[in-house]
Amino acid sequence: MNLKKSIFNLITLQKRNFFGKSLDSISTSIRNALENKMNDNELSGEYRVVRKLAELKPKIVFDVGANIGIWTQELKKYAPDSIVYLFEPIPDTFDRLIQNLSVLNEVHPSQIALSNKLGEFEMNYYPNQSYFSSIYPTSLGKDGIKVKVQTISGDEFCFQNSIEHINILKIDVEGAEEKVLEGFQGFLENQKISMVQFEYGQHSLDSKFLLKDFYTLFENYGYKVGKIYPNWIDWSAYDLSMENFILSNFIAVSPKAENYSETLK
């Protein structure tokens, strides 16, 4: 048995004791750090993306899964002239969103969920942890309640509101990203969205829409996909090792918006 196999075997034998459990915890923390699992938007690089893209003076921005509006508040600091459409279907959360947006100009909140069709679906709402609210139940949230919400597709919303192009589409919908993107099929096919920011994590287990599926969807439309890190974007091609369900944010850039990827270097 060579040295590498001997070391691996020795580590495996520690799995059930204190040392092994401590090693497992430490290695998981290191792995999460390397994969940029970070709930702080400043440290994760998400707000860096906002500030860099603000330099391009984005005209139309969609904040899908806006929650209480924190992301839009950050955007408006640097792009005050942007017109932002926000979507938050949960009534209590929507009320807090309205309060937080009261001092901002050119913000248009809608108490509706973007999905793949006009209609309604049931969401799991967590009053004390509204950011976990999802069409899928989660062990992360406590004391959830069922709420029926109205839905509309992104293409239909844009048609009804005479919107012809979206500069930034930010999606944070706890696993329903696939439905939102399906609802923008027409806009994506015609590359009428310059950049999409989306979240990937354990909700992909519920939706069965994997990171591979995100890459395939966007690349079929000609978009380039990259992962957000604190000071850079990793534009590497998809690899199976990336399918780790660790919470992180990605972006997809239209070939018609190369200035976006250049700006984010």
When pLDDT is averaged across residues 182-197 and rounded to a whole number, the result is: 97
Q: What's the rounded Cα separation, in Å, for the pair 259 and 194?
A: 10
When pLDDT is averaged across residues 168-187 and rounded to a whole number, the result is: 95
When pLDDT is averaged across residues 153-158 and rounded to a whole number, the result is: 98
Quick check: 90 pLDDT over 80?
yes
Average pLDDT value for the chain: 91
Give the pLDDT score at 72.
97
When pLDDT is averaged across residues 112-134 and rounded to a whole number, the result is: 83
Band (130; pLDDT cuts 50, 70, 90):
low
Task: For residue 216, give both structure tokens.
Answer: 């395939």
Give the pLDDT score at 141.
58
Quick check: 87 pLDDT over 90?
yes
Give the pLDDT score at 192.
97
Query: Amino acid letter at 96?
Result: R
Percent of the chain predicted with pLDDT > 70: 96
Phi–psi pair at 139, nearest 5 degrees: -75, -10
Quick check: 135 pLDDT over 80?
no
Task: For domain 40-263, say whether CATH 3.30.420.10 is its number.
Answer: no
Listed as own residue / partner, the contacts of 208-216 with beta carbons closer than 8 Å and 24 or more positions apart are 209/175, 209/177, 209/178, 210/243, 211/238, 211/242, 211/243, 211/250, 212/238, 212/240, 212/243, 213/178, 214/177, 214/250, 214/252
Ranking 8-22, 182-196, 241-255 by mean pLDDT, the lowest is 8-22
Give the pLDDT score at 140.
63
When pLDDT is averaged across residues 10-24 and rounded to a whole number, the result is: 84
When pLDDT is averaged across residues 166-172 and rounded to a whole number, the result is: 97
When pLDDT is averaged across residues 30-45 and rounded to a whole number, the result is: 91
pLDDT tens for 211-253 read 999 999 999 999 999 999 999 999 999 999 999 999 999 999 9
HEC sequence for the chain = CCHHHHHHHHHHCCCCCHHHHHHHHHHHHHHHHHCCCCCCHHHHCHHHHHHHHHCCCCCEEEEECCCCCHHHHHHHHHCCCCEEEEECCCHHHHHHHHHHCCCCCCEEEECCEEECCCEEEEEEECCCCHHHCECCCCCCCCCCEEEEEEEEEHHHHHHHCCCCCEEEEEECCCCCHHHHHHCCHHHHHCCCEEEEEEEECCHHHHHCCCHHHHHHHHHHCCCEEEEECCCCEECCCCCHHHCCCCCEEEEEECHHHHHHHHHCC
* Residue 86 near residue 99 (C-beta atoms within 8 A): no
Quick check: 165 pLDDT over 90?
yes
Give the pLDDT score at 114.
96
Domain spans in the chain, listed from the N-terminal domain onward: 1-34, 40-263
Ranking 125-129, 144-148, 156-160 by mean pLDDT, the lowest is 125-129
- Which pTM was predicted? 0.92
Band (53; pLDDT cuts 50, 70, 90):
very high
